[in-house]
Structure 1
C-alpha cells in the first residue's frame, strides 16, 4: 500500500469519527475534500478491510465508524513512550481474543500488596512525579490548590474522562454545557449526562472536606454521582455489584459472588488508605478499582476521579488525562485484567501526569519553554482565533471552523490542533485579546454571543 493511499484511508476513517450515527458520502467529502470517484473507491476499500461499515441503499447510504478496537496507531505509540515491558504487554493484548487464555479474578493480586512496603512506582518515579506536580500551595491547607483551579479542572477532567469513554462532546461543547447547561446539537442525552455527572463528582471531591478519602462513603457516593441516570437499574448507583459482569474485548472474568466483592472492596479501601505516597495511592486506585469491578458499570471513571483525591489533599497538580489516547489506555487496563501486569498502564500514567502537570503549570503562568506545537502553528492559530472573534461565531460554527482548518494539517496534528485552539479560546479575556489583532468592539460583540462562557 502506497503512503498516499494509506494517508487517504486514514483521513476518511478519522473523519467518520465525527459521525457516530453515520455519514453520507457528501458529509465525508466536505471534511476530506476528495474527488467523488476516488472517495467511493476508498470507502469500498475501507469496508472490505472491516474498518468501516455501510448501511442503507442508494441515496440513503450511510458510512459508519467501526467500534473501537484494541489496535493502536503508530501515532499513538509515538505520543506515549513505552518501556520494553509495556511494548511486550501491548503485543500480547493485541492478539485476537481467541488466542488469549481466559482468566478469572486473582485475589492474590490485591492481598499480596503491602502498603508502604511494596510499590508499583519506583523511588525514581515518585521523585519525578513530585517534581512535576509541585505547586506554590504545597504548605497550604489540603485542597487549596484544587479549589483555586476548580473551574478549569471541571472542564478539563470532565471532558477528558468522558472522552476516554467514547463521548463525542468537544472541549468547547463541554465548556458550554458546564457553564451554561446548554447541550450540544446532534449529541445524545447520555453524553450530556456523563459530562454533568463528572462535574458533580469533581465538586464532591474538591468541596467534600475531611470526609473525602479512600473510604466507603467517598467511593460509593463517587460512583453514585458518576453513574446518575446512566444505569439500567437506578438503584445500582452507589451500590456494590450483585450481578456477574463481563468485559468487552477481554478474556478477563471479574468476581461474581457478592460476598467476595464486598470483602475485596473493603480490603482495597483499607490498603489504599494506608499508602503514604500520594502518587502511589493514586496509581493503586487506578489499578485495583477497575480490576475488582466493584460496581455494575462506571468503574474506570470512578478510578480516574479517585486518583485525584490524594493529589488534591497534597495540593499537587491534578491528573486530568490531557491528550491520553483511548486505545493505549484501554490496552494498559487489559494488561492488568488479563496478565496482572502494570508496566504498560504505568507508562500511560507517568506520561498522562506529565501532560496534565504541564497544562496546569501553564495555567499558573510558570516560566518554561514555549510549547513547540503552538510555536509551529502560531500564525495559523492566530489567524483562526482572530477570525472567530471578529466574526463573532457561535459555538457550533466555531467548532466547524476549527475542524475545517485542522483538515489542512497533517493527520497526526489534527486533534491536537483542535484542542489547542479550543483551549486558547477558553483562555481569552480582556487582558489578552489584542494579540489576535481584535478590536475592543469586536471582542465585546464576541463575548455577547458567548455570554455566560467568560
Structure 2
C-alpha cells in the first residue's frame, strides 16, 4: 500500500515537472513570437516611414515611379500596399490617375489643398514659357475639371479649312524668327547633311526628351549609356528601355533615308512601326491605321472611330502638308493635325514629334529635340488642341521649345565645318565597307575595302574613298557605332582580332 502510494506520488511529481517544463516552453515561445512580431512590425513600419518621409520632402508630390526610384530596395507591391494604408489612415492623399497620379503628405490638410499645389506647381504652364492672351484662355478652360468641359468629337472642318500657303498656323514674323535661330552652317548643303553630322547627339537628346514626355524616367545619362553602350539602366522597366530604343531606330530611319522618306503613308506607317515596336497591346496595330475606337485619357475629346473616315482624313492631311512650302509651317502642321486625327491605336504624339522633325532635317535646320519641355505643359497644349481645335497654346510651346533646342545646339552649329564632298558623295559605300570589315574580324581588312571600292566606286574617286575608309576605321569607337549599324559585341570582336594579328 505504501509502495503503491509512493509510486503514485512519483508519477504525480514527475507529471508536475513535465507540466512545469511545458508551461515554461509555452511562455518562452510566446515571448519569442511576440518579439519576432514586434521586429517584423518595426521593419514594416520603417518601410512605411521611409515612403512617407520621401513624400513629405516633396512639396509637389511624387508619382509612384519617382517614389520607387528613391527606394529601389522596396518591392513595388509592398510600396503600393503601404500607400493604400497611409491614404486610408489619412497620412497621405492622392491626386490624378494612372502614371500621372501623385501622392502628397497630410500636412496639406486636405485633398483640395493638395490638388491646388499639384495644379499650381505641376499641371499648369510654368512662368518661364511666355504665353499669349489666347493661350491663357485655353489654359483656363483646360484647367477646369473634366466634368465641366464639353464633350467633343473630331471636327473635319478644322482640317478642311486649312489652305496650304494661304492659311498659317505660324505667322510670318514667327517663321522669320525660327529661320533665323535655326539656320546652320550647312544650310545650302544636300538635304540631311546637318542631321547626319549631329546624329550621335541627336539620338540621345531626342530619344530622351520625347520619351520623357510619355512619363519615361530614364535620365539623359541613362539614355546615353543605353544608346552608345547598350547598357540598360538599373531599376527601370522594360517598357521604358524599349521606348528609348524605339526612338533611336525611328530617328535613324528618318536621318539615314532622308532622300527617300517623305510625308506619305509608307514613311508614316514605318515611323509608327519603329516607335511602337513591342509596346502595343495588339502587335498587329504597329504601323497600321487604327481599326477601332479609342479614348483620350483625362479628356472629353472623342476621335473618329471608323477606319474609312480616318484613312480619308489622313490622305487629305498628307496632301496638304506636302503642299506647304515653309519647313517650320510643315513641322508645326504635323504637330497639330497628326495627333488630332489619332490615326493609330496609340503612339500618335510620339509619331507627330518625329514627323515634325522631317522638314527640319531636309532643310538642314536645327532639330526640335523637346529638351526641357515640361510633360504637363505639353499635355495641356495638346488637350487645348483636342477639345477646342485651337493651336495657340501648342504654338507658344513649340516656339519656346525650338528656341531651347537651338540654344543646346549653338556650339555645334558654330563648330560644324564644311563637309568633305568625297565623304558626302560616297557615304553609303563608306558605311557599308566599315560594317563589312568589322563583321569579318578574321579577314584582311584592306582586301575587303579594295573589293568594295572596285565594285561600287568610280575609278577617279576610288583611291580617295579607300583612304577615307581606312581613316574612319582607325578612329572607330563605341560612340559612333550606331552610324554604321554595328553592335558593341561586333566591335569588341573586331578589336580582339586586330590585337591578335
Indicate whether the TM-score tops 0.5. yes
Quick one: structure 1 residues 10 and 17, their matched pair in 2 at CA, closer, same or farther if it must change by over 3 Å?
farther
- Aligned partner of 1:192 in structure 2 is 241
- Aligned partner of 1:183 in structure 2 is 232
Q: 2:60–2:122: 8 Å Cα contact kept in structure 1?
A: no
- Aligned partner of 1:109 in structure 2 is 158
Q: 2:61–2:118: 8 Å Cα contact kept in structure 1?
A: no
TM-score normalized with structure 2 length: 0.63
- Alignment counterpart, residue 292 of structure 1, candidates 322, 334, 341: 341
- Alignment counterpart, residue 264 of structure 1, candidates 313, 316, 319: 313
- Aligned partner of 2:203 in structure 1 is 154
Paired with 1:75 and 1:153, the residues of 2 have a C-alpha distance of 28
What pairs up with 1:214-363 in 2 under 5 angstroms?
214-363=263-412
C-alpha deviation, 1:23, in angstroms = 6.2
Paired with 2:198 and 2:72, the residues of 1 have a C-alpha distance of 43
- Aligned partner of 2:448 in structure 1 is none
C-alpha deviation, 1:80, in angstroms = 1.0
Paired with 2:222 and 2:301, the residues of 1 have a C-alpha distance of 35
What pairs up with 1:116-127 in 2 under 5 angstroms?
116-127=165-176
Paired with 2:195 and 2:71, the residues of 1 have a C-alpha distance of 44
- Aligned partner of 1:131 in structure 2 is 180
Paired with 2:367 and 2:61, the residues of 1 have a C-alpha distance of 30
Structure that is richer in helix per residue: 2
C-alpha deviation, 1:363, in angstroms = 2.7
Paired with 1:183 and 1:321, the residues of 2 have a C-alpha distance of 23
Structure 1 gap segments, 5+ residues each? 1-7, 28-39, 55-64, 368-428, 430-454
- Aligned partner of 2:193 in structure 1 is 144
C-alpha deviations, 1:399-440, integer Å up to 9, x for none?
A: xxxxxxxxxxxxxxxxxxxxxxxxxxxxxx9xxxxxxxxxxx
TM-score normalized with structure 1 length: 0.69
- Aligned partner of 1:33 in structure 2 is none
What SS is found at the alignment partner of 1:205? Answer: helix
Paired with 2:178 and 2:275, the residues of 1 have a C-alpha distance of 27
C-alpha deviation, 1:209, in angstroms = 3.2
What SS is found at the alignment partner of 2:259? Answer: helix
Paired with 1:22 and 1:193, the residues of 2 have a C-alpha distance of 18
Matched, 1:47 2:90: no
C-alpha deviations, 1:356-389, integer Å up to 9, x for none?
A: 011111233469xxxxxxxxxxxxxxxxxxxxxx
C-alpha deviation, 1:228, in angstroms = 0.3
C-alpha deviations, 1:149-191, integer Å up to 9, x for none?
A: 0000000000000000000000010001101111111100010
C-alpha deviations, 1:114-167, integer Å up to 9, x for none?
A: 000101000000000000100001000000000000000000000000000000
C-alpha deviations, 1:193-230, integer Å up to 9, x for none?
A: 00000000000000113221111111010000000000
- Aligned partner of 2:51 in structure 1 is none
Q: 2:62–2:102: 8 Å Cα contact kept in structure 1?
A: no
- Alignment counterpart, residue 128 of structure 2, candidates 71, 74, 79: 79
- Return the index of the structure with the highest Cα Rg: 2
- Aligned partner of 1:432 in structure 2 is none
Paired with 1:69 and 1:303, the residues of 2 have a C-alpha distance of 28
Paired with 1:363 and 1:22, the residues of 2 have a C-alpha distance of 33
Q: 1:115–1:274: 8 Å Cα contact kept in structure 2?
A: yes
Quick one: structure 1 residues 10 and 278, their matched pair in 2 at CA, closer, same or farther if it must change by over 3 Å?
farther
Paired with 1:133 and 1:303, the residues of 2 have a C-alpha distance of 20
Quick one: structure 1 residues 306 and 10, their matched pair in 2 at CA, closer, same or farther if it must change by over 3 Å?
farther
What pairs up with 1:289-438 in 2 under 5 angstroms?
289-365=338-414
Quick one: structure 1 residues 48 and 167, their matched pair in 2 at CA, closer, same or farther if it must change by over 3 Å?
closer
Q: Which has the higher contact order (CA 8 A, sep 6+)?
A: 1
Paired with 1:22 and 1:202, the residues of 2 have a C-alpha distance of 28
Paired with 2:137 and 2:124, the residues of 1 have a C-alpha distance of 18
Q: 1:71–1:94: 8 Å Cα contact kept in structure 2?
A: no
Paired with 1:128 and 1:223, the residues of 2 have a C-alpha distance of 31
Structure 2 gap segments, 5+ residues each? 1-54, 75-85, 105-113, 417-478, 480-501
Quick one: structure 1 residues 305 and 10, their matched pair in 2 at CA, closer, same or farther if it must change by over 3 Å?
farther
Task: Name the count of aligned residue pairs.
Answer: 338
C-alpha deviation, 1:13, in angstroms = 4.1
Quick one: structure 1 residues 90 and 152, their matched pair in 2 at CA, closer, same or farther if it must change by over 3 Å?
same
Paired with 1:276 and 1:344, the residues of 2 have a C-alpha distance of 23
What SS is found at the alignment partner of 1:158? Answer: helix
- Alignment counterpart, residue 11 of structure 1, candidates 45, 58, 63: 58
Matched, 1:164 2:210: no
